[in-house]
Amino acid sequence: MSEFIISAFADEAGASLAEQLDALKANKLGAIEPRGLDKGNIADYGAEDVKEVKKRLDDAGIVVSAIGSPFGKINIADDFGPHFEKFKQTVENACILETPNIRMFSFYFDKGQSYEDLRGEVIDRVGAMAEYSLGYGVRCCHENEKGIYGDTDDRCLDILEALGGKLWGVFDPANFIQCGVDILPAFEKLKDYVEYMHVKDCRYRDGFVVPAGKGDGHLRELLARFAAHCDSPDPADDALPKRGGRTRFLTLEPHLKVFAGLSELEQTGGAESVSEAEFTYPTNRAAFDAACAAFFSIHNA
């Protein structure tokens, strides 16, 4: 069975890189998906700042699984030009950090905007980013985020098939649950495109994110299916990603406590999906540690 490298959005443990490295080390994690850092979101970092981040990660023995970018998290009606120019800098940052993956999205829609009418614009924009990054050996990995075009399994598959061979997928079970999607059938539908997975659990009844194994994400079964699929032969279809010989990551995204930058990551602010009624933690670091412990209780079982 495939062995995964466990990564994390360590900005949920602390806002500074020093705090994040301490949390990764304490929880025996060897990888990070950088998102919020000392100077803000990594998408706002220039090359020189990223080189300093790379040095500190190297010194700590931490690799970068993907860049946790916010690209594609603007409204489909917003001007794409400045967004795309900023994306180009993040591709350079990915090269500096020696990661092959950039996490990205497929644009928010407001009530009344037509998914069908604007589908072509979504494909064009996501395709422009995917093609540009591939020119530098970097994969765009689309995450299913509530409120965007690809927030259901069917629309995720639509994008992935339309951009066959140019776009990969990030499977986030909690986000699918918050959109009413049945998790295991969704994975079977999308598995040929899934590059990596987020470890984030959720409950259908209230949309609250909860520790791994406490929600409706079927995480133990989901991880077993992902591992088995990674071990299966490469598909003959050239439009499908090849699986052989690739390092595979699982990224912990706790979302168990409101943390610095959360309001910038989700269109609604995100706080209403964080369950503090049943699972309470005194600090962000405590919530991060609890999320790691919950994951390893499933992973090591």
All structural domains of the chain with their residue ranges: 5-291
pLDDT digits (tens, 9 = 90+) for 223-238: 999 999 988 887 777 7
Find all residues with CB under 8 Å of 182, minimum gap 6, and list them.
none
DSSP result, 240-267: SPP-TT---EEEE----S--TTHHHHST
pLDDT mean over 196-225:
95
How far is it, in rounded angstroms, from Cα 80 to Cα 76?
Answer: 8
CA-based R_g, the chain, Å: 18
CATH class of the region 5-291: alpha beta
**Cα 58 from Cα 63, distance rounded (Å):** 7
Which one, of 7, 29, 64, lies nearest residue 198 by Cα?
7
Query: Which pLDDT score, from 0 to 100, does residue 247 have?
Result: 76
Closest CA to 186 of 157, 211, 149, 158: 157
Structure-block tokens of residue 184: 């295991």
How far apart are the C-alpha atoms of 214 and 123, rounded to whole Å? 36
Residue with the two structure tokens 């993956």: 101
Tokens 């060897």 belong to residue: 30
Furthest-apart CA atoms within the chain: distance in Å: 51
CA atoms within 13 A on the CB side of 138: 28
pLDDT at 1: 44
**Measured at the alpha carbon of residue 34, what is the angle toward residues 133 and 81, in degrees to the nearest 5?**
40
β-pairing verdict for 201-202 and 209-210: antiparallel
Closest to 238 measured CA to CA, from 167, 164, 168? 164
Least confident of 50-64, 81-95, 168-182, 261-275: 261-275
Better pLDDT: 264 or 194: 194
Residue of 27, 55, 70 lying closest to 300 (CA atoms): 27
Query: Of all helices (H) and strands (E), which one includes residue 167?
Result: strand 167-171
Q: What does pLDDT average to over the chain?
A: 91
pTM score of the predicted model: 0.91
**What is the structure's pLDDT at 258?**
62
3-state SS assignment for residue 91: helix
pLDDT at residue 280, as a whole number: 84
Q: Looking at the predicted structure, is the pLDDT value of residue 83 above 90?
A: yes
Is there a contact between 290 and 279 (Cβ–Cβ < 8 Å)? yes
- Say yes or no to pLDDT of 259 above 70: no
Q: Confidence band (pLDDT; 50, 70, 90) for 300?
A: confident
275-281 mean pLDDT: 70
What are residue 15's phi and psi, to 5 degrees?
-75, -30
